[in-house]
Structure formats: C-alpha cells, structure tokens
Structure 1
Amino acid sequence: MGSLRSFIKAVRKAKTIADERAVIQKESAAIRTSFRDVSLDHTTRRINISKLLYLYIMGEKTHFGQVECLKLLASPRFADKRLGYLACMLILDENQEVLTLLTNSLDNDMQHPNAYIVGLALCCLGNIASPELARDLYQNVETILDSKNNFLKKKACFVAAKLIEKEPDLSEFFLPKALDLINEKNPSVLLGTLRLIQSLHSIGETSINSTIPKIVNHLKRISTSGYQPDYDVMGTTDPFLQVSLLETLRILGGSSEEINDILTQVASLDSGKNSANAILYECVKTIFTIDSDQSLKILGVNILGKFLSTKDNNTRYVALDTLLSIVNIEPLAVQRHRSTIINCLTDGDISIRRRALELAFGIINEQNIRVITREILTFLETCTDFELKSYVTSQITIAANKYSPNDKWHFDTLIRVLEHGGNALTNDIMSNILALILQCEDQELKKHVVLKLYESSLKDNNQFGLILITSWALGEYGDLILNNEITESSITDLFDNILENSTFSSNEIIQLTIFILTAVLKLSSKFKNPKTIERLRNIISSKTYDSNLEIQTRAVEYQEIFGQDSNLKKGLLSKMPPPPIKQRESLKLHKNNTSNNQTTNNKRIDNNNLGDTQNNLLDLIDIDDLPPTSQDNDVLSDIFGDNSTTTTNKPSSSINEIKAFENSNLKVSFIPKKISSGEAIIETKITSTQTITQIQLLIAVPKTQKLIITSTSGDSLNINRSIIQNLKITGKEGSKLKLRVKIKYKLNNEFIEDQFDFSGFNKTI
C-alpha cells in the first residue's frame, strides 16, 4: 500500500471518471482489508486514516473507518492523536452511536500533562459534542477554566459555550466562571470569555448582563492603548477582540451614556484598512441595534457613506447592504448619500448593482423621485438580466403610483418602462397601467398617452408589453388621436404589422391576437372610412379558421357582432367603466431564507420576493374577477370577458377534498367521488398561486390494482385556474388505495420535478 501522496497522484492522473472511480474503489478496498488486520501498527493505521480523510473530502463513504479513528487516539504519539482527532471531527457527528466510545479518550486526554494534547481533545469536544458528552465531560472543562494556562483557558471557554448550547442546564456551572473570567486582561482568554457570555445570554441567562460595564471598560482600554506588536493588524490594535467586544455589547443590548461615549470613540477610528473597517462596521451595527443617540445614528450612516466611496467592492457591498437595513430608521441621513448610491448603479459588479438598486428604491420620496427614476430608467435601458428587469419595472410602477408629482409625468414614466421592459413586465404591471388609463378623466392627457403609446409602438414593435397595451388603448381610444398624420389606415397598418411580427413566442402571439381582434371590433364602430372598415372586417375574418381554438372562437363571435346594427354595436362596444387600482406591495431582490419548499432544488426567486408580482392573471381591468382560458399561457380576457366555448375548469372545491401534497409552487388534492365495491373514482386537482406551464402528471398504483386515467384539463396553472384529472382505480375489494405521484412542470423557464406517495384515503375499495 502506497502513501497518501501516491494515492492523490493516482486519482489526479485518471483521465476519465471511470478510471478515477476504479482507483478510488481499489484503494478503498485496500483500506478495508488493512483495517481487518489485528496486528496493524499505528504508522500504517495513520496512513490509512489520512487516505480515509481524502476519500471523505471527495464525498466517498467512510463509515467503515470510524472505529479505526478512535483506535488511533490510543497512541501516545502526538502525531497520531492529532490525525485521530481530526478524523473524528470530520467523520463523526453527535448522532453517531460510536461517539460513546470517544468519551474515555477525551476524558484521559483532557487530563494529559501535555497542553497541546489537551487542546486537541477540547477542540474535538467542541466540534462534535452531544448532550450526553456534554453532561459527561463538563467537569473536565470546568477544571481547565481554573488553570493558569491561557492557551487552554481560551479553548475551554469556547468549548463551554458549545456545551451550554447542547445542554442549557450546564449554565449554572459555567455562569460563575464567565463572571470571573470577564476580569481577565489577556486578549485570548477575553475573546473566549465573550463567546461564553454570548452563549449564556442566548439561553436566557439575564444575570450575564451585569458584565456590560466591564465590557465597556475593556473596549475603552483597547481602543486607547498604544502599539502592541503581538496584537497589531495593519495599524489597528487587536481588531478581532474589538469586534467581539462590540458584538457582545450589541447582543446584550442596553443603553447608557458610557456606551454612547465608547461607541462615539470607536467610530472615530481612521478607516482605510480592512481591519479598521471591520471594527467600524461592527460599531455601526451596534449603534442601530441598541437604543443609541440620534447623533450617533447619523454618525453611523456617515461611516457607511465613507465605505461607499472606497474602491474595495466588498466594503461597498457591506455598506449598501447595511444602509438598506437602516433606511427606514434614518431615511434623511441615508438621503444625504443619494448621489453615491446612484453612482453604484453603473458599477461593474452585479452584486453591488443589485443592492444599489434596492437602496435607490428605498430612498425614493416626493422630492427626489424625478432624479432617481431618471437614473433607474437609464439603468433599465442597458440591463440584460431578466430578473433585474422584472424587479425594476415592478418597483418603478409602485414608486410612480405613490410619489408621482403629476399625472403626465406618471404616464410618461410608465410608457418608458413599457419601452424598455421587454418581456420582463409582469401581469399586474400591465393591468395597473390599463386601469390608470381608464381612470384618467383629462381627455387631453388621455390623448397624449394614447398618442405616445402609438408612436412608441411604431418605433419598436418588438416590445410585448408595449404592443399589448397599445393595442388595447387604440381599440378603446384610437379615435382621439386621428389627425392629418395619424389616419384610420395607419392604425390598421400597425395592427397588420403586429400580426405579421414573428419575433414573439406562440403564447405571446395568441395574447396579442386576442387583443387586436377586440381592438379591431371596437374601432369598427368608430371609424368612418368604408375601405378601412372593410380592412378591419378582413382582419377578423382571417382568424375564423385559426389553428388556435381560442382565437378562432373569438373571431367567429366578433364576425357576428361586426355585422350587427350600428346602434346595437355602439351600445355593446361602448367605453369600459374605470376600475379600482390595486395597491401593490414593495418587493425585495434578495431571497427569503425561510422558504417552505423542501422538495425542489432549483434556484429561483422566492414567492415572497419578485415572484409575488406574477401571482395574478392579466386582464384589461381587474384580473381577479375574470375566468381563465384554455391556452398554455392564459389568453388575456378582453372587454367581453370569457366566451362560452372555453374548456378550462374553474377551481373547484369540495368538503371531501384531501390535501395530498403542497410546496411553495403548487398544491395537489384528491376528491373521492366513489370508493366501494372494488372500484374508486377520484378527482385530482392541482392549484397554484403562480404561473406554471408544461405540467405533466404521472400516477402509479400497486400491481394488484388497475388504473385508468383521463387526460388533464390543461397543462398550465395560475391563481385563477386549476387542473383537473379523473382517476378510476379497480382492484380486490377491501384493498387499500396507494398512489405514487410524480409531477413535472416548468416555472420561471426551469423544469422542476416533485414526487410523493399518498395513502390517506379513509376508505378501502
């Protein structure tokens, strides 16, 4: 058997995965064989364990070497113990049964005369301690805390903190130690003591707050001390200890004049080096966590402003992230750094741009909305990231609704969003814009909006959101903009060009066609030129044989309406009444770490963030009140609502509905219709609060049963739509129903697969 180095070389020489796997399997088998040798010496065992750790790093199975790691600890040699404890810390955890065999080795080594061996044992205990080990060995840690060796006292403090977290009842033994050790001036011991104090506070030991004055004194002493070569980092005295003191002060809380004074003193530290910036950052966090003075909070914001002006990307990111968390506490102080924040929108680092974008929206108010929105729109014009574009368009819409100085500026801003938003415009944004146009009572302003939409569409007819809203606006108010340059014929030409545009996806073409058909029908009662009216009729007639059922149905219905009496058409095609505008919540770019989805591994924006803007279907007025349609991506309802030929089922409900599976993407329920006499008829219902497409539902039953499954009622989901599938299961009477269900679907352009088993039916067949 060769050395570890030769094993690593052999793995690296492998040219294919198969070759690498062969080398690993061969060496793993050799290690297993070697471990069976009862006369195995410690040197060979150490080589085997080192190879085992390399296998562990590569993700291979190493459970067969757990006991051998413990055997290595029995060696009196320091090198053997060091490797043995390292292996134990990596390969074992607190849930391993073999951990009980470690107790004796730890007990012996924690009483060893060699301080470095004691340190190894402490390190191992702190890493893999279970509640049982904590109760068995806490007295050894207590003894070490009373020793005079500062190296061991520091380690013992960290281990004591871990033991308290595993077994809170041990706090009564370590609390007096912490109250005594806080008087120490040795930096390493004090660092460990602060960690112990934090642990005691986390389990509810309020008496530990009595250490606050001593912590303040330590902070004063260190921040005013001169040059200490052993603890100096780039001109800053012991930054690790200063950060820990500030962190402990922040965790313990409280406020006093002394605390404010020391924080002011620390905040005056000259920044520029990373070590000093770390202290200043912790100082700012402490300022905004405790009940500090107003002037101190302004000082904290100014420190972050200095961070923004540095060239280091990490420092600027930290500043933006912290400002984002305190913008609601000190909005005026953050406003003073507006120009610096806006400049970060053009930074080359995407992480900085994202945080700057969030912060820019966070500081928008009535006074600065023009300036900030102009900069953000400039950013939107060059942005290629779909996620960022969706966030920007949503947030600009929200901000404009809330802070717009006048209606004209509001509409002009929304039109610029349409011009550059592309396909990133969410359904609720377009619904909001349409509602705003309907609510506008100023005819001149309404004419200005429709005219600008028309002109923008002529310049660029590849922006889906812009074309969609323009089509609707022309159908509703196209007669307002007719003049010498804009004629009935030119508007009709625009519709023809849109219908012939091949740059849109099939689903987008369906939606646009539905909108244009509606607009054409409405304009047929407003236009006067017979030739243009005939062109409008031809547009509708050309779609009566369309391959898409929804388009074909609409075209046939509209063709019938087109030929009706003009008085009837005017009443039927009159302008829509203005709907209420829904208030939208502000969004966040950063992901929510508390997502409930435990079954999917794909990376995407969480439902509480950007995905919230896609929870509703777009319609012309208020999307929640209209039924869905049968297309893969729901065709947008027009002014006539749904038609009678749609094949989509509305979400059904039943008192017998049994929830079988749910995550943040969708929910699957079963509704038993009949379960008796060896037969079960069950309705499967899939619902979602998001837009999901290309859904496939695969269901299996035990071999003793037979399943007949109908086709689904569609393959796409949203908040107003469910998918229904009926199951018929036959089998031996009295047998239990068991289903294995696999769901495949597409969300945010990513394919996801979920699987679950269900046997929760109350009856047997």
Structure 2
Amino acid sequence: MFGCDASFAYIHAINSINCGNVVCKGVGYLTCALCLPSESPLLILLVANLQKDLQSTNYLEVSSALTALSKLVNIGFLHAFSDQIIKLLSHGVEIIRKKAIIVLNRFMKLNPSLIQDFSNHFRRTLCDIYDTVMAVTLNSFAQILSDENQLPIYKDLISSFVVILKQIIDHRHHRHFDYHRMHRPWLQTKLLEILGILGENDKRASEQMYEILSEVMRRADDTGVNAGYAIVYQCLKTITKIYPNQTIIENAAHLVSRLLTAEKKNLKHTGITGLISIVKINPIYAIKHQLVVVDCLEDSDDTLKRKTLTLLYKMTNTTNVTVIIDKFTGIIKSASFDIHFKQEIDGKITELAEKFAPDSKWYIQTMNTMFEVASELIKPNIVNGLIKLIEEWREDDDIIEFTVTEYSKILQMNENIPDCPMQVAPWVIGEFSEYLQSESIGSIMDLLCKSLFKSFDDPTTKGWIFTALQKISKGVPSDQCRDLISRFSTSRNEDLQQRCYELAGTCTKLPIQLNFKRNFNIITNFKFLESYEQ
C-alpha cells in the first residue's frame, strides 16, 4: 500500500482462510504471513484454523498453513503446535516434511530449550530418502551447533556428514542440483561449515575429515569455475579451523598460490583471504608468496589493497620486515592512495618496526623516514612512544650517540622540518646535549632559535623547542635566547608564554655552568618539616 495503513484489510485475509477453495485459502495464509506482525492480537483468530489445516488430508492446505506458521508463530503459541509439527515429520509428501523442519527451526530460535526435544527428530530426518529434507535438516544442525555446549553431543554425527559430502562429490544426487558443473555447491558449503565447527580443537574428530576435505578441495579446483573456487575457499576456512594437519595445509597453500596469480580480482581477493587464514596457523606458508602479495598493493581495487595490507601485517617477521616496511613507505609517498588508507599503513609501520626491528639504529632511521614522508599522518602517541623508547636506551652510549647525531643532521640539513621530527629532535638534543661536540652546540642552538620563527601545524611544537633551549643552556642562556624569551613571553600561545616565563626564571648570570651530577653534598634531612610531613 506504499506506506499507507492496510490494517483494515487484515480481517478479510483471515476470513479467506475459512474458505473451502484451496487457492483462496493459500492467498489468505500468504497475506497474513506477509502483513500480520508476530505479536498481533488478530493471531488468536488464526490458531483454530491453523490447527485444523495442519491435520488436513490435502497436502496443499497443510503446506500453506506451515508457510504461514513459520512467519507468524510467537513464543506464546509454541506448545499449541509442537506436537502437530512433529507428527508432520512423518508425512508422506516430501515438501511437508521439509516445511515442518523449517517450522521447528523457527521454534528453536524462539525457545532454545526445545533443542533437546527436537534432537532425535532431526537425527532421523538427516537420513530421509529425499535430498531436500536432508538438506534443510543440515540448517537445523548448523543452528544447534552455534551453541558450544551442544558440540560434544553431536560429535558422533561427523561420520554421517562425511558420508553425505562423499555422496555429493560423487554425484549420487539428482543432476538438477548441479550449478555450473558443480554439484550442490551450497550444500557442500554448509557441510564444510558444520565439519569445521565439530573439528575445532579436536584431533580425533578432525582426523575423520582430512581425507574428504582433500578430495573435496581437489575436485572443486579441477572445475575451474567460480562455484568451485567458492568451495575451495570454504575448504580453506574449515582446514584452518579444525585441528591442523601439515599435509592438507600444504595442499591448501598450493591452491591459494593459483588464486593469487589469477587475473580475476575476485579470485585474487579469495586467495588473499584464504592465505590470511593459513598464516594464522603458520606464517611460513606465506613466505614464498610474499612478492606476489606485495604486488597486490598496487592493484586499483581498494578492497583488495586493504586485504593485502592485513595479510602483509600478519606475515611480517624479522626476516622480511625491511622489505615490507619499504613497500609500505612507498605507498605512503604515492599520491594514488587516500589519506585514510595511508593512516592505516602508518599505524602498521609503527607497530611492525617496533616489534620486528633488526636493531635500534634501523628503527630510528625507519621512524625518521616515516616522519619525513607522512608527518601529517602521525598521531601524538607515536611520537610519545618513540621518545619513551629512546629514554629506555639512556644507558647505551652507542645508541644514544647515534640518535643524537641523526637528529642533529635533520636539524642541519633540512629547512622545512615537519612537526613530528621537530618535536623529537629538540627533545633528544636537549636531553643528551653532552653527546654533542662543543663547537656544534652553538650552531644547534641557532637552528633551534630560528625554528621558533617558522610556522607549524601543531602549536605545541615551539614549546618543545623552548624546552630544549632551556636544557641546553643549563640556566645560562645566550643573548639570542634572552631576546627570544622577551619576544615570545607575550605570545598568544599560552603554552609558549608559560615556557618563556619558566625559562626566564631559570636564567642566572653565573660565569660558569652548574653541574649537579657529581654534587654529593646535598642536604636531604630537614627535621623542621617532620611535623608538616606527618
């Protein structure tokens, strides 16, 4: 009715159900199923008719009633129909048994405690002589097995599921179930999904599946059609979910390589997704494919690029971290990628560099390169994390000296330095200025002073520079620093203004610089403060 209220017509649909004409009755049930909400008070008018038609000798009437019941039943009416539906599981017409199972599935969703009552009935319909009844029963088991507490009860059915899968791949079912030369692909997918659930973390259960999984995967791959590749992918998901077997995983990895080199993007996407599942078990299977995977980052398909990024992230180790991060850095430099994708890659580079860095010097150089090419993408927590890590290296003179030298070069060689290195460099030089040569300290301070007149995206960057000047001067600032203090003490940036006052407060006119490191004559006992402390 294009959004208009049609509730005035509901009663006419209900009245149609009382009609003796089968077609009219079917239309009435269909209208009620489509229009009436499951909590409608009008449903009470349908109960008697549904019970009567479920017992009809005309299977068309029974079929219409079952179709409506699967849509309209609510938890208050379950017990009114349960016994009748269970009796229909033995009905002589195939479609009635099938629809009865569908209704019982609906009952289980409304009330999961009924699973135990229906369990034996589903076991019986799994062996039905008609394929369609058996197929719809698989949906019931998939629903039941979504509850982990039910898994031990149904382990004994693994052999039955394996037999059914064997019958399918041997084409023992009717040919009208073929789809693009693939026999019952949707049913195969459902069976593989169920086997994956039953075999998870269970070696004994998984051993019953290895042979059939290998056979299904081989035959599906031989078809060379999309339906076959879909089965291959579902096999990969099942293989990586059950208890692992080296031989079958190697076979799966071999099939993945064929998908990765396919021309169709859908197949490449499937290969990348399958390889992600295999890498979770053992990253070694992805090493020989890493060059092919890296090439997928250059694809024009954004979804494929993001999947490839996820895979490369998962397969990174100490051996290939340099290659992968170089590739990621190249992507950040490229103008063909959007900023959100670059931000995602930026986070991956930071995490991988910290986790798999071959040495500390390489890590510093990698971070500096990233600061240079993607400073606008760097989040504050990345800068803070790098500073914290450098602080932990304080006792390693070799690393600290290298770090100070690197950031001194950055200050001396670049005129337009982005915010991130312009925050880290002053902190490093201010904290470890004793590692600088005496003749270079003056030039470094000049560079820092000049940087204060540049514009930065982050207003706190100049504060980092002022703090570094304060540390380097050790309370005896140069005339240039005094001029800067006077100049920026009236800045509109409150943080910068506050730092100027702090630096001015530490200024002295002592002829020599104070050194507190070797002063052991510090008084630490103030008895007159004991009462205040208490």
- Does the pair score TM above 0.5? yes
Letter paired with 1:191: A
1:198 Cα shift?
A: 2.9
Q: Does 1:398 align with 2:344?
A: no
Change (3 A) 1:467 1:289: same
CA deviation digits over 1:338-380, x for unaligned, max 9?
2232222222222222222122121111111111111111122
1:214 is aligned, of 145, 160, 163, to: 160
Match of 1:265 in 2: 215
1:236 matches 2:189: no
2:471 counterpart residue number: 522
Query: What runs of 5+ residues in structure 1 fail to find an aligned partner?
Result: 1-50, 573-765
Distance 2:22 2:445 in 1: 88
Q: Does residue 74 of structure 2 align to residue 130 of structure 1? A: yes
**Residue 300 of structure 1 is aligned with which of 244, 252, 269?**
252
* Residue 174 of structure 1: how far off its partner (Å): 3.0
Match of 1:410 among 349, 359, 363: 363
CA distances 1:492-539 after superposition (whole Å, capped 9, x unpaired)? 3565345432x62xxx21x11211211232343599xx9xx3333222
| Structure 2: 5+ residue stretches without partners | 518-534
Q: Determine which of 475, 484, 488 is the counterpart of 1:543.
A: 488
Q: Which residue in 2 is equivalent to 1:150?
A: 94
Cα separation, 1, equivalents of 2:511 and 2:253: 67
Q: Any conservation in 2 of the 1:198–1:248 contact (CA below 8 Å)?
A: yes
Aligned match for 2:420, one of 451, 465, 472: 465
Distance 1:238 1:393, change over 3 A: same
State the 1:419 CA deviation. Answer: 1.6
Letter in 2 for 1:524: S
Question: 1:268: how far off?
Answer: 0.5
Q: Secondary structure at the match of 1:146?
A: coil
Question: Do the aligned partners of residues 128 and 344 (structure 1) sit closer, same or farther apart at CA in structure 2, a change above 3 Å counting?
Answer: farther
Asked if 2 retains the 8 angstrom alpha-carbon contact of 1:179 and 1:208, the reply is: no
CA contact (8 A) 1:231 1:238 kept: yes
Counterpart in 1 of 2:196?
250
- The match for 2:524 is none
Q: How far is 1:279 from its partner?
A: 1.6
Deviations, residues 192-216 of structure 1 (Å, cap 9, x unaligned): 1212233444565554433322221
2:498 to 540, 549, 553: 553
Q: CA deviation at 1:239?
A: 0.8
Write the distance in 1 (CA, Å) between the matches of 2:301 and 2:232. 23
The 5 A counterparts of 1:146-225 are 146-171=90-115, 173-202=117-146, 206-225=152-171
Residue 677 of structure 1 aligns with which residue?
none
1:701-720 equivalent positions in 2, closer than 5 A: none
Instruction: Please state how far the C-alpha of 1:557 moved relative to its aligned partner.
Output: 1.9
Count of residues in Structure 1 that have an aligned counterpart in Structure 2 = 505
Superposed displacement of residue 71, structure 1: 4.4
Per-residue CA deviation, residues 645-689 of structure 1 (Å, 9 max, x unaligned), is xxxxxxxxxxxxxxxxxxxxxxxxxxxxxxxxxxxxxxxxxxxxx
**Against the structure 1 CA distance between its residues 493 and 163, is the aligned structure 2 distance closer, same or farther, given a 3 Å change threshold?**
same
Measure, in 2, the Cα distance between the counterparts of 1:457 and 1:247: 58
Which residues in structure 2 correspond to 1:325-364 (within 5 Å)? 325-364=277-316
Q: CA deviation at 1:188?
A: 1.4
Q: Deviations over 1:672-722 (max 9, x none)?
A: xxxxxxxxxxxxxxxxxxxxxxxxxxxxxxxxxxxxxxxxxxxxxxxxxxx
Residue 373 of structure 1 pairs with residue 325 of structure 2: yes
What residue identity is the alignment partner of 1:435? K
Mark the CA change 1:77 to 1:534 in structure 2 (over 3 Å): closer, same or farther.
farther
The TM-score normalised by the length of structure 2 is: 0.82
Asked whether the equivalents of residues 360 and 372 of structure 1 are also in contact (C-alpha less than 8 Å), the reply is yes
Q: 1:193 to 1:561 in 2, by over 3 A?
A: same
Q: 1:454 and 1:84 mapped to 2: Cα distance?
A: 82
1:421 corresponds to: 374
How far does residue 144 in structure 1 lie from its aligned partner after superposition? 2.6
Distance in 2 between residues matched to 1:348 and 1:78, nearest whole Å = 57
In 2, the alpha carbon distance for the partners of 1:457 and 1:150 equals 80
Distance change (3 Å), C-alpha of 1:387 and 1:291: same
Instruction: Please report how far the alpha carbon of residue 240 of structure 1 lies from its aligned counterpart in structure 2 after TM superposition.
Output: 1.6
CA deviation profile, 1:173-196 (whole Å, cap 9, x unmatched): 533332222223533122112122
* 1:90-145 residue CA offsets vs partner (Å, 9 max, x unmatched): 55444444443333343344345554554343233333432233222123322332
Q: Which residue of 1 aligns with 2:531?
A: none
Residues 237-271 of structure 1: CA deviation (Å, up to 9, x unaligned) = 11122112222222333625442111110111243
1:435 to 374, 377, 388: 388
Q: Which amino acid aligns with 2:294?
A: I
What percent identity do the matched residue pairs reach? 23
* SS of the residue 1:555 aligns to: helix
CA deviation profile, 1:28-84 (whole Å, cap 9, x unmatched) = xxxxxxxxxxxxxxxxxxxxxxx1xx42xxxx7766766565445445566665665
Contact 1:161–1:200 (CA under 8 A) maintained in structure 2 = no
Deviations 1:571-610 (A, max 9, x none): 59xxxxxxxxxxxxxxxxxxxxxxxxxxxxxxxxxxxxxx
Letter of the structure 2 residue corresponding to residue 430 of structure 1: V
Q: Distance in 2 between matches of 1:217 and 1:289?
A: 20
Whole-Å Cα distance in 1 between the matches of residues 6 and 339 of structure 2? 43
Quote the Cα distance in structure 1 between the aligned partners of 2:449 and 2:6: 68
Distance in 2 of aligned mates of 1:119 and 1:564: 101
Q: Is the 8 A contact 1:135 1:167 kept in 2?
A: no
Kindly indicate whether residue 65 of structure 2 is the aligned counterpart of residue 121 of structure 1. Answer: yes
| Structure with more helix by fraction | 2
Alignment of 1:695-706 (within 5 A): none
Residues 323 and 334 of structure 1 are in contact (CA less than 8 Å); yes or no, is this contact kept in structure 2?
yes
Q: 2 CA distance for matches of 1:275 and 1:230?
A: 16
- Structure 1 residues 236 and 163, CA, compared in 2 at 3 Å: closer, same or farther? same
1:145 touches 1:157 (CA, 8 Å); kept in 2? yes
The correspondence of residues 282-321 of structure 1 with structure 2, limited to 5 A, is 282-321=234-273
- TM-score between the two structures when normalised by the length of structure 1: 0.59
* Amino acid corresponding to residue 281 of structure 1 in structure 2: Y
1:334 aligned partner, one-letter code: A
Shift, 1:432, TM fit: 2.0
Tell me, in whole angstroms, the C-alpha distance in 2 between the residues paired with 1:163 and 1:186. 23
SS at match of 1:379: helix
Please give the root-mean-square deviation of Cα atoms over the aligned residues, in Å.
3.5
1:724 — aligned with what? Answer: none
Q: 1:599-628 CA deviation, whole Å, 9 max, x = no partner? A: xxxxxxxxxxxxxxxxxxxxxxxxxxxxxx
- The letter of the residue matching 2:347 is S
Gap change, CA 1:569 and 1:91, over 3 Å in 2: farther
Task: Answer 1 or 2: which has greater strand percent.
Answer: 1
1:562 has 2:507 as partner? yes
Structure 2 residue aligned with 1:280: 232
Kept in 1, the 8 Å contact 2:178–2:184? The answer is yes
What SS is found at the alignment partner of 2:124? helix
Give 1:275 deviation, angstroms. Answer: 1.1
Tell me, yes or no, if the aligned pair for 1:228 and 1:237 is still in contact at 8 Å.
no
Can you list the C-alpha shifts for 1:269-325, whole angstroms capped at 9, x where unaligned?
243322112222222222222225221123233333433333444444444344434
CA 1:95 to 1:496, structure 2 compared with 1: closer, same or farther past 3 Å? farther
The amino acid of 1:221's aligned partner reads Q
Contact 1:236–1:276 (CA under 8 A) maintained in structure 2: yes
The equivalent residue for 2:408 is 451
Aligned residues of 2:474 and 2:513 also touching (Cα < 8 A): no
